[in-house]
């Protein structure tokens, strides 16, 4: 396996920069950079780095001897003060040696090829690096601990057992009445497995949706304070604030983190019956946004007729009642005591903390709590697509058994499912597929 190198931290000035080298010539490269360095496996040592007697930087040199490294190869990491000038000097020096700059995901590819991780674990690492959501990160961590791989191996064992029992009927057709070959029992076992697949796909789709960002739509009559509220939540002027009706004509999207959850707020056009042609287009977009939203915040102007506003939005609150939070805005301007249970805020005065708490509580008790954590083991669109494909093939096998198809046809179809499962774990893959898969991963990983 060729020796590769790459900057594994971001290509920006920062506190610490790291360059990794991995492969059979790693130690030769390090001796070239640090002539006086003694190679000690699994060690960390401080060294001054010089090129042609010119001092470059103070560095830490980490050495890992195969197979006790992430990649399974001889590995060295050079830690330096995070200047890109220093980083580029080291990279320029490495480029003159008989080693290759790593492609995206190539360190992880080495780890996979050396049996340090399986394919589901590599995808877990990539998801853990890229996700901005705590819930998806937690699931990725479990898969890094091989939860998904263990589940798939259990399915493989089950299907291999089924094939062996069907093979008895193929090899000894006169003995199909043996207890080991009970096609009705086999079919029932496959139906239970199919149900497990459906649960996993369903729950994993939910968590993946949450991981991509929770969508919250802000609705209300014009000038209810939606744009002001959005700006206060984001702590920046993202939406237009004006006293004129219909100022927001497009759905304005902005994202923020609340309690480690990525949330996209969608400031909609003020919903009212009348308006110009451009404004009506904005209102149409607002209604489309409501369908996709995970949460809808109905902002009521506390200085106007509350009952009238509720009446205007009655259809929306009825259609989406399970995801609507009603909040009364401009509480600082309300002179009379309003007796209701609405959440009262003042966007203008930045008095929005209770609303933020309510949003977090809704996410964690109604959105995240909806999925069965033990079933949410798929963390990428690719994995869900693979499981959907297997589910369809398993459904077909059950239908073949119900239709009394010959055992060799049934056995063949189950074998195609096994091949798909092997592929998910990274077994029986050709090199081109492996390269294409890992090339989509992070640079320096």
Binding-site residues for Mg(2+) sit at: 227, 248
396 touches 224 (CB < 8 A): no
Could you tell me which of 182, 186, 17 has the C-alpha nearest to residue 89? 17
Position of tokens 């601990």?
Answer: 145
Question: Which residue numbers belong to the known binding site?
Answer: 20, 77, 116, 223-228, 242-248, 267-270, 445
Q: Pick out the residues of the known binding site for GTP.
A: 223-228, 242-248, 267-270
Contact 267, 290 (CB under 8 A): no
| Burial environment of residue 423 by CB neighbours within 10 A (0 to 12, 13 to 18, 19 or more) | middle
Q: Hey, which bits of 302-391 come out as E strands? A: 324-329, 343-344
CA-to-CA separations, 313 to 189, 279, 310, 383, in angstroms, rounded: 50, 18, 5, 40
The answer to whether the beta carbons of residues 41 and 74 sit under 8 Å apart is: no
Could you list the residues known to form a binding site for (6S)-5-formyl-5,6,7,8-tetrahydrofolate, using ranges: 20, 77, 116, 445
- Residue 334 contacts residue 302 (beta carbons within 8 Å): yes
Closest alpha carbon to 405 in 414, 302, 139: 414
Q: With contact defined as beta carbons under 8 Å apart, do 223 and 243 qualify?
A: yes
How far apart, in Å, do the first and last CA atoms of the chain sit? Answer: 16
The closest alpha carbon to 33, from 12, 67, 5, belongs to 5
Q: Cα–Cα distance between 162 and 121 in angstroms, integer?
A: 27
Q: For residue 86, which phi and psi values (nearest 5 degrees)?
A: -65, -45
């Amino acid at each position: 396996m060729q020796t590769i190198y790459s900057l594994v931290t971001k290509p920006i000035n920062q506190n610490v920069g790291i360059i990794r080298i991995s492969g059979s010539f790693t130690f030769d490269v390090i001796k070239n950079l640090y002539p006086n360095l003694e190679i000690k496996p699994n060690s960390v040592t401080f060294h001054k780095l010089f090129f042609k007697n010119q001092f470059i930087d103070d560095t830490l040199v980490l050495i890992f001897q195969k197979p006790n490294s992430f990649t399974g190869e001889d590995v060295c990491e050079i830690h330096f003060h995070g200047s890109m000038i220093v980083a580029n000097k080291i990279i320029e020096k490495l480029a003159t040696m008989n080693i290759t700059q790593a492609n995206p995901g190539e360190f992880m590819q080495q780890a996979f090829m050396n049996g340090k991780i399986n394919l589901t674990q590599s995808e877990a690492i990539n998801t853990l690096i890229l996700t901005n959501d705590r819930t998806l990160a937690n699931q990725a961590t479990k898969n890094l601990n091989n939860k998904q791989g263990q589940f798939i191996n259990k399915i493989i064992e089950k299907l291999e057992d089924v094939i062996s029992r069907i093979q008895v009927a193929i090899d000894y057709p006169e003995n199909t009445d043996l207890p080991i070959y009970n096609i009705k029992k086999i079919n029932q076992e496959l139906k239970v497995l199919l149900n497990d697949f459906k649960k996993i796909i369903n729950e994993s789709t939910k968590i993946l949706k949450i991981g991509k960002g929770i969508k919250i739509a802000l609705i209300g009559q014009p000038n209810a304070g939606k744009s002001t509220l959005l700006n206060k939540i984001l702590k920046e002027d993202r939406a237009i604030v004006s006293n004129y009706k219909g100022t927001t004509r497009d759905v304005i999207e902005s994202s923020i983190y609340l309690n480690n959850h990525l949330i996209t707020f969608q400031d909609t056009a003020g919903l009212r019956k009348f308006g110009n042609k451009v404004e009506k287009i904005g209102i149409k977009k607002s209604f489309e946004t409501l369908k996709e939203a995970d949460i809808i915040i109905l902002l009521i102007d506390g200085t106007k007729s509350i009952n009238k506003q509720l009446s205007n939005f009655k259809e929306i609150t009825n259609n989406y009642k399970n995801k609507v939070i009603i909040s009364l805005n401009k509480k600082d301007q309300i002179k009379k005591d309003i007796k209701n249970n609405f959440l009262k805020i003042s966007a203008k005065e930045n008095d929005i903390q209770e609303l933020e708490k309510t949003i977090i509580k809704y996410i964690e008790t109604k959105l995240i709590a909806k999925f069965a954590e033990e079933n949410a083991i798929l963390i990428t669109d690719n994995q869900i697509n693979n499981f959907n494909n297997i589910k369809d093939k398993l459904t077909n096998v059950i239908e073949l058994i119900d239709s009394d198809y010959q055992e060799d046809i049934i056995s063949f179809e189950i074998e195609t499912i096994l091949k798909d499962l092997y592929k998910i774990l990274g077994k029986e893959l050709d090199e081109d597929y492996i390269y294409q898969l890992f090339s989509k991963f992070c640079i320096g990983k």
